[in-house]
Structure 1
Amino acid sequence: MGSCIICGTPADGAICESHEQDVLFEFTGNNPNQLTSGRYYKGTVDGFADFGVFVNIGDRVTGLLHKSELDRRLDSLDWEEGDEVFVEVTGVRDNGNVDLGWSIRQSEREFRGKLIDDPERGAVLPEEADDGDESDESDDQQATTDGAGAGTVDTADESSSQSSAEQSSESTSGRQSESASESESEAASESSADAEPTRVEIQSLSDRVGEEVRIEGEVVGARQTSGPTVFEVRDETATVDCAAFVEAGVRAYPEVETGDLVRLDGEVELRHNELQVETEDLEKLTGEDRETVEQRLEDALRAEARPDDVELLADHESVAAVHDRIRDAAEAIRRAVMESRPVIVRHNATADGYVAGAAIERAVLPLVRDEHAKSDAEYHFFDRRPLEGGDYDMADATKDVTTMLDNKERHDEKLPLFVIVSAGSTAESTDGLELLDIYDAPRVVVDATYPDEDVADLADVAVNPYLEGADAADLTAGVLGANVAAHVNTDARGDVAHLPAVSYWEDAPEAYVDLATEADYDEDHVTALREAVALEAYYQSYEDKRELITDLLFEHEKRDLAEHVGEQFREKLQTELDTVEPNLSIRGENGVSFTVLDTEAFTHRFDFPPTALLLDAIHRQELGAQGAPGDDHVTLGVDEDEIHIRSDGRVNARDVAAAAAEEAPKAGISAKGTRDGAVEFLAGERDAALDAVVAAVSEQL
Structure 2
Amino acid sequence: MGSCIICGKSVDGRICDLHEEDVVFEFRGNQPDQLTVDRYYRGTVDGYAEFGVFVDIGDSVTGLLHRSELDRRLESLDWESGDTVFVQVQQVRDNGNIDLGWSIRQAEAEFRGTLVDDPAKDAPYLKEDESGNEDAAADDDSAADESGRGQCDDTTEVTGRSESQSDRRDATVGRDAEDAGQTDEEPAETAAATTTESTATSAGADTGSSGEGGAAATSGGSGGASAVTEEPSHVAIETLSDRVGETVRLEGVVESARQTSGPTVFEVRDETDSVECAAFKEAGVRAYPEIGGDDVVRLDGEVRERRGELQVETEALVKLEGDERETVEDRLADALRSQAEPDTVDPIADDDVVAGLTDEVREVATAIRKAVLEERPVVVRHSATADGYVAGVALERATLPLVRDQHDQHDAVYHYFDRRPLEGGVYDMDDATKDVTRMLEARERHDEKLPLFIFVAAGGTRESLDGFELLDLYGAGRALVDDIEVDAEVAETVGALVAPAAADAAETTSSTLAANVAAHVNDDVRDDLRHLPAVSFWEDTPEAYAEAASDAGYDAEAVREVREAVALEAFYQSYEDKRELITDLLFGEGDGHGGLAGHVSEQFREKLDAEVETAEANLDTQTLDDTKVAVLDTDAFTHRYEFPPTELLLDELHRRHRDDVAAVIGVSEDELHIRSDAPIDVRDVADRAREWVPNAGLTATSARDGKLEYIAGERSAVLDTVIDVVADEVA
Could you state the TM-score of these two structures normalised by the residue count of structure 2? 0.80
**Cα shift at 1:484:** 1.0
Q: Which residue of 1 aligns with 2:69?
A: 69
Partner secondary structure for residue 472 of structure 1: helix
Q: Are 2:726 and 1:697 aligned? A: yes
Q: 1:582 aligns with which of 594, 600, 617?
A: 617
Q: Which residue of 2 aligns with 1:168?
A: none
State the superposition RMSD in angstroms: 3.2
Note the alpha carbon deviations across 1:101-153, whole angstroms, 9 max, x for none: 333445666555444334333445538714646399969xxxxxxxxxxxxxx
Q: Which residue of 2 aligns with 1:19?
A: 19
CA–CA distance in structure 2, aligned partners of residues 671 and 597 of structure 1: 19
Which shows bigger deviation, 241-250 or 483-492? 241-250
Structure 1 residues 557 and 320: alpha-carbon distance in aligned structure 2, compared to 1, 3 A threshold: closer
Q: Map 1:431-510 onto structure 2 (within 5 A).
A: 431-466=466-501, 470-510=503-543
CA–CA distance in structure 1, aligned partners of residues 347 and 15 of structure 2: 54
**Cα shift at 1:296:** 3.0
Q: Which residue of 2 aligns with 1:518?
A: 551
**Cα shift at 1:322:** 2.1
**Cα shift at 1:25:** 3.4
Which shows bigger deviation, 326-335 or 232-241? 232-241
Q: 1:299 aligns with which of 314, 327, 334?
A: 334
Q: Which residue of 2 aligns with 1:151?
A: none
Q: 2:386 aligns with which of 345, 351, 358?
A: 351
Report the AA paired with residue 454 of structure 1: E
Q: 2:318 aligns with which of 284, 291, 304?
A: 284
Report the AA paired with residue 21 of structure 1: E
Partner secondary structure for residue 708 of structure 2: strand
Contact 1:115–1:226 at 8 Å: present in 2 too?
A: no
Q: Which residue of 2 aligns with 1:661?
A: 690
Which shows bigger deviation, 570-579 or 659-668? 659-668
Q: Are 2:448 and 1:419 aligned? A: no
Partner secondary structure for residue 90 of structure 2: strand
Report the AA paired with residue 309 of structure 2: L
Q: Are 2:412 and 1:383 aligned? A: no
CA–CA distance in structure 1, aligned partners of residues 300 and 92 of structure 2: 46
Q: Which residue of 2 aligns with 1:265?
A: 301
Note the alpha carbon deviations across 1:622-641, whole angstroms, 9 max, x for none: 125x3xxxxx6111111112
Structure 2: state its 5+ residue gaps. 140-220
Contact 1:452–1:674 at 8 Å: present in 2 too?
A: no
**Cα shift at 1:382:** 0.4
Contact 2:620–2:632 at 8 Å: present in 1 too?
A: yes
**Cα shift at 1:584:** 0.8
Partner secondary structure for residue 671 of structure 1: strand
Note the alpha carbon deviations across 1:37-72, whole angstroms, 9 max, x for none: 222344566776665556565445555544433444
CA–CA distance in structure 1, aligned partners of residues 301 and 439 of structure 2: 33
- Report the identity percentage: 60
Structure 1 residues 421 and 75: alpha-carbon distance in aligned structure 2, compared to 1, 3 A threshold: farther
Report the AA paired with residue 515 of structure 1: A
Q: Which residue of 1 aligns with 2:575?
A: 542
Contact 1:321–1:470 at 8 Å: present in 2 too?
A: no
Q: Map 1:212-251 onto structure 2 (within 5 A).
A: 215-251=250-286
Q: Which residue of 2 aligns with 1:593?
A: 628
Partner secondary structure for residue 714 of structure 2: helix
Contact 1:23–1:114 at 8 Å: present in 2 too?
A: yes
Partner secondary structure for residue 645 of structure 1: strand
Identify, as 1 or 2, the structure richer in helix: 1
CA–CA distance in structure 2, aligned partners of residues 110 and 295 of structure 1: 34
CA–CA distance in structure 2, aligned partners of residues 547 and 295 of structure 1: 40
CA–CA distance in structure 1, aligned partners of residues 555 and 349 of structure 2: 18
Note the alpha carbon deviations across 1:453-483, whole angstroms, 9 max, x for none: 41221211122113xx643112211111111
Contact 1:503–1:530 at 8 Å: present in 2 too?
A: yes
Structure 1 residues 562 and 222: alpha-carbon distance in aligned structure 2, compared to 1, 3 A threshold: same
CA–CA distance in structure 1, aligned partners of residues 89 and 441 of structure 2: 21
CA–CA distance in structure 2, aligned partners of residues 457 and 358 of structure 1: 26
Q: Which residue of 2 aligns with 1:684?
A: 713
Partner secondary structure for residue 507 of structure 1: coil
Q: Which residue of 2 aligns with 1:178?
A: none
Structure 1 residues 199 and 260: alpha-carbon distance in aligned structure 2, compared to 1, 3 A threshold: same
Structure 1 residues 59 and 276: alpha-carbon distance in aligned structure 2, compared to 1, 3 A threshold: farther
Structure 1 residues 133 and 11: alpha-carbon distance in aligned structure 2, compared to 1, 3 A threshold: closer
**Cα shift at 1:566:** 0.3
CA–CA distance in structure 1, aligned partners of residues 503 and 720 of structure 2: 34
**Cα shift at 1:266:** 4.4
Q: Are 2:361 and 1:326 aligned? A: yes
Which shows bigger deviation, 306-315 or 541-550? 306-315
Structure 1: state its 5+ residue gaps. 140-185, 627-631
Q: Which residue of 2 aligns with 1:162?
A: none
Q: Which residue of 1 aligns with 2:376?
A: 341
Note the alpha carbon deviations across 1:189-222, whole angstroms, 9 max, x for none: x9x9956655555456677788876654322123
Contact 1:592–1:698 at 8 Å: present in 2 too?
A: yes
Report the AA paired with residue 664 of structure 1: V
Partner secondary structure for residue 473 of structure 1: helix
Report the AA paired with residue 657 of structure 1: A
Partner secondary structure for residue 265 of structure 1: strand
**Cα shift at 1:383:** 0.4
Contact 2:468–2:493 at 8 Å: present in 1 too?
A: yes
Report the AA paired with residue 476 of structure 1: T
Contact 1:591–1:698 at 8 Å: present in 2 too?
A: no
Structure 1 residues 592 and 662: alpha-carbon distance in aligned structure 2, compared to 1, 3 A threshold: same
Q: Map 1:636-655 onto structure 2 (within 5 A).
A: 636-648=665-677, 650-655=679-684
Could you state the TM-score of these two structures normalised by the residue count of structure 1? 0.83
Structure 1 residues 636 and 564: alpha-carbon distance in aligned structure 2, compared to 1, 3 A threshold: same
CA–CA distance in structure 1, aligned partners of residues 85 and 311 of structure 2: 25
Which shows bigger deviation, 24-33 or 571-580? 24-33
**Cα shift at 1:673:** 2.5
Partner secondary structure for residue 288 of structure 2: coil
Q: 1:570 aligns with which of 592, 596, 605?
A: 605
Note the alpha carbon deviations across 1:220-245, whole angstroms, 9 max, x for none: 12333445444333333333444445
Which shows bigger deviation, 214-223 or 531-540? 214-223
Note the alpha carbon deviations across 1:611-661, whole angstroms, 9 max, x for none: 00000011111125x3xxxxx611111111222110125211111111111
Structure 1 residues 94 and 665: alpha-carbon distance in aligned structure 2, compared to 1, 3 A threshold: closer
Report the AA paired with residue 539 of structure 1: Y
Answer with 1 or 2: which has the greater Rg.
1
Which shows bigger deviation, 643-652 or 506-515? 643-652
Partner secondary structure for residue 20 of structure 1: helix
Structure 1 residues 445 and 88: alpha-carbon distance in aligned structure 2, compared to 1, 3 A threshold: same
Contact 2:664–2:675 at 8 Å: present in 1 too?
A: yes
**Cα shift at 1:689:** 1.4
Report the AA paired with residue 659 of structure 1: R
CA–CA distance in structure 2, aligned partners of residues 653 and 543 of structure 1: 29
Structure 1 residues 548 and 13: alpha-carbon distance in aligned structure 2, compared to 1, 3 A threshold: same
CA–CA distance in structure 2, aligned partners of residues 293 and 534 of structure 1: 48
Partner secondary structure for residue 444 of structure 1: strand
CA–CA distance in structure 2, aligned partners of residues 581 and 356 of structure 1: 31
Structure 1 residues 352 and 671: alpha-carbon distance in aligned structure 2, compared to 1, 3 A threshold: same
**Cα shift at 1:412:** 1.3
